[in-house]
């Protein structure tokens, strides 16, 4: 059962309204939006990395015969709602965790502790979204570490937001989920695997391609200028 779009977007609008009532937080949010650069190579690399993580993960799961092709039921409206959800969730979570909290923690504890702390919070935030929470937590922890590292290295939340948005969108379109308003491309194969086994295989294949994003960004940070705005 999917979550009603208006209720979901209304909840995120409430979060933004609450945060923007705090002057210090509002100042940081405005700073971050002013630093947005749609032509930044870091931004497009983030989007490429987020999409690649999902696509290569899906390819490996197909090769392992865990997933097969389904009969996707896409409409323009459903894809646009899913895109809106992907961007809204990513922008909100990155602004709150990396734009506000990581920035503040970094002033007191340094970048490394700030990245780890916000990654742990990011992972805990997603507990209970599936039936096998421990595996989800590990995957979200890896995501949180990557997103925090990218934010610190690039000096902006927008590369991390692009990666997060691309990953959200493709996960919804390829695998589906409780917040997908489309029939996904892939469906699980009847292999008599337990939910834990399925989650373990999914996590293993995801972590196998995870270094791809790190390598892409590590090389980019050596050759591209640092963004301002953090």
- For 138-150, the pLDDT digits (tens) are 999 999 999 999 9
Is the residue at 186 inside a domain? yes
Under 8 Å between Cβ of 112 and 125: no
Is the residue at 179 inside a domain? yes
Confidence tier at 1 by pLDDT (50, 70, 90): very low
Confidence tier at 171 by pLDDT (50, 70, 90): very high
The model's pTM is 0.91
Is the residue at 229 inside a domain? no
Residue percentage of the chain with pLDDT more than 90? 56
Per the document, the length of the chain is 230
Domain span including residue 152: 5-223
Is the residue at 30 inside a domain? yes
Please give the mean pLDDT across all residues of the chain. Answer: 87
- For 101-116, the pLDDT digits (tens) are 999 999 888 999 999 9
Is the residue at 59 inside a domain? yes
Is the residue at 228 inside a domain? no
State the total domains in the chain.
Answer: 1
Q: Is 7 exposed, middle or buried (0-12, 13-18, 19+ CB in 10 A)?
A: exposed
Answer whether residue 166 shows pLDDT above 90. yes
Q: Strand locations in the chain, DSSP E? A: 67-69, 186-188
Is the residue at 230 inside a domain? no
Sequence-distant (≥ 6) Cβ neighbours of residue 32 within 8 angstroms: 95, 99, 156, 157, 158, 229
The enclosing H or E element of 174 equals helix 158-175
CA atoms within 13 A on the CB side of 72: 18
Is the residue at 155 inside a domain? yes
């Amino acid at each position: 059962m999917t979550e009603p779009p208006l209720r979901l977007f209304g909840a995120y609008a409430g979060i933004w309204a609450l945060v923007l009532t705090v002057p210090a937080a509002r100042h940081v949010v405005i700073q971050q939006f002013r630093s947005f650069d749609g032509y930044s190579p870091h931004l497009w690399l983030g989007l490429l990395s987020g999409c690649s993580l999902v696509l290569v993960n899906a390819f490996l799961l197909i090769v392992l015969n865990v997933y097969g092709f389904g009969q996707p039921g896409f409409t323009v409206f459903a894809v646009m709602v899913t895109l809106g959800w992907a961007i809204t969730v990513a922008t909100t979570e990155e602004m709150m965790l990396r734009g506000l909290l990581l920035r503040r923690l970094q002033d007191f504890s340094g970048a490394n502790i700030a990245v780890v702390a916000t990654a742990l919070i990011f992972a805990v935030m997603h507990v209970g979204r599936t039936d096998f929470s421990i595996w989800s937590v590990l995957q979200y922890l890896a995501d949180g570490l990557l997103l925090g590292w990218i934010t610190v290295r690039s000096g902006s939340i927008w590369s991390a937001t692009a990666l997060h948005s691309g990953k959200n969108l493709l996960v919804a379109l390829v695998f589906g989920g409780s917040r997908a308003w489309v029939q996904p491309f892939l469906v699980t194969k009847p292999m008599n695997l337990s939910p834990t086994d399925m989650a373990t295989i999914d996590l293993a294949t995801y972590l196998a391609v995870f270094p791809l994003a790190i390598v892409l960004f590590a090389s980019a940070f050596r050759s591209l200028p640092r963004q301002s705005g953090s």
